[in-house]
Structure 1
Amino acid sequence: MRIGELSRRTGCSVRSIRYYEEQGLLSPIRDTNGYREYSPFAVEQVRTIQFYLSLGLTTAQIASFLHCVLTNKESFCKEVLPVYQQKLAEIDLQIATLQRIKVNLEDRIQAYKLETNTAAPQAE
């Protein structure tokens, strides 16, 4: 199948499919005319790539275990666990950072409200 058909079947843009190819995640065959020819299995590959991207993984991280996942069940791929653990640690750090920012903003809002209320002229 050609790239346009793969795009239609997966809902993935042609540009993204080309990017996946550049990153080594897809390997189409080139026809004599230079057109990319994808196997029917490429539909599953693209959907799998999109799934892992939706988890926040990078294409480099996905490349480290994609072949294993596509040929086996995810639970049989020992390469997946460290990537998941690293991503979870990154998310925990982001949550902690956002929590600190939230508390800081709440404190500033409270201080602003207190300052505004005490600075307001008293009606007689």
Structure 2
Amino acid sequence: MRVSELARRTGVTVRALRYYETVGLVVPRRRANGYREYDPISVRLVEHIRSLMALGLSVEETRPFVECLLSGADSGDVCPASLATYRRAIDQLEQRITQLAEQRDRLRAQLDAAAQLRMQAQSGRRRAIAAVDPVRLVGAELPDLELVATDGSRVRLRALGQGRSVLFGYPLTGRPGVDLPEGWETIPGARGCTEQACGFRDRHADLLKAGAARIYGLSAQSSGYQREVVHRLGLPYPLVADPRLTLAAALGLPTFDAGEMTLYRRLTLIVANGRVEHVFFPIEEPAGHAEQLMQWLAEHQI
């Protein structure tokens, strides 16, 4: 049997057969013309080597089984050396399992400790971000913070520009194929971010005509996440990222926890001359909030 025929019948590559020959496992005879000729038993040898390697044995560890078959045994598994190889492989696996179990337990302990530290940090942050009544923010000066916007600019909150600026905070927008936090549908005020963002998109020109000089969305999501939302929804206004909730900490804006995240509660600030002129909170109907805002602007023309 030529090497190509053996490779076809056993499903291994010629290169693998050459390697088995090199290490002395499956050795062909040399014909007078120099060609390799494999005996019929080579098929059984190669198939047994493949099955043993599928169980995790190395090529060298298959040697006792090959020698067992070559000795005339009906199976490569019945010889004492083969049985000893099985036992040794099992012992090694059990040692490895013990080591992996110990490693898993150490990782679990580390995770528990890290989770405890995170809970303590979140607890401290919640104390720092006190539950201030947002309506009492009217007249408050915005902090001198700079946040990154999806258009690449850095938005300085105390210097948003002339006229009225609309800064609407929202928890988070979903993304296709990405699960929302567990229990999201049951959290009061969590749902409706996409509808609200699209409402501001659809009435953007009308809001500007009504007296808004500029509009920003604000969330604790990363700027990269927000850029995908702007592109997918076709938003004509930028979103501003505040993943560390720095504005919430400075003004005492309301937040809530969802799984591992702390997020902004939905509210809208009307800002003029660096100060809060009006606050919308709570916002009961996110999808209709753009209409609500437009009506307020029409009633409070400067």
TM-score under structure 1 length normalisation? 0.87
Shift of 1:46: 0.5
Structure 2 partner of 1:73: 74
Output the amino acid matched with 1:53.
Answer: M
Distance in 2 separating the partners of 1:79 and 1:41: 20
Stretches of structure 2 lacking an aligned partner (at least 5 in a row) = 131-302
Shift of 1:18: 0.9
Structure 2 partner of 1:97: 99
Aligned length: 124
Aligned partner of 2:85 among 83, 86, 90? 83
Structure 1 partner of 2:117: 115
Structure 2 partner of 1:25: 25
Distance in 2 separating the partners of 1:33 and 1:111: 71
Max Rg structure:
2
Deviates more, 1:57-66 or 1:81-90: 57-66
Cα displacement string for residues 45-93 of structure 1 (whole angstroms, at most 9, x for unaligned residues): 1001111222222333322342223521346412222111111110001
Deviates more, 1:59-68 or 1:90-99: 59-68
Distance in 2 separating the partners of 1:29 and 1:2: 10
Stretches of structure 1 lacking an aligned partner (at least 5 in a row) = none
Per the alignment, in what secondary structure is the counterpart of residue 58 of structure 1?
A: coil
Between the aligned residues of both structures, percent identity stands at: 34
Structure 1 partner of 2:57: 57
- From the superposition, tell whether residues 18 and 43 of structure 1 become closer, same or farther in structure 2 (CA, over 3 Å): same
Output the amino acid matched with 1:110.
Answer: D
More strand per residue = 2
TM-score under structure 2 length normalisation? 0.38
- Let me know the Cα RMSD of the aligned residues: 1.8
Structure 1 partner of 2:7: 7
The answer to whether the 8 Å contact 2:10/2:46 transfers is yes
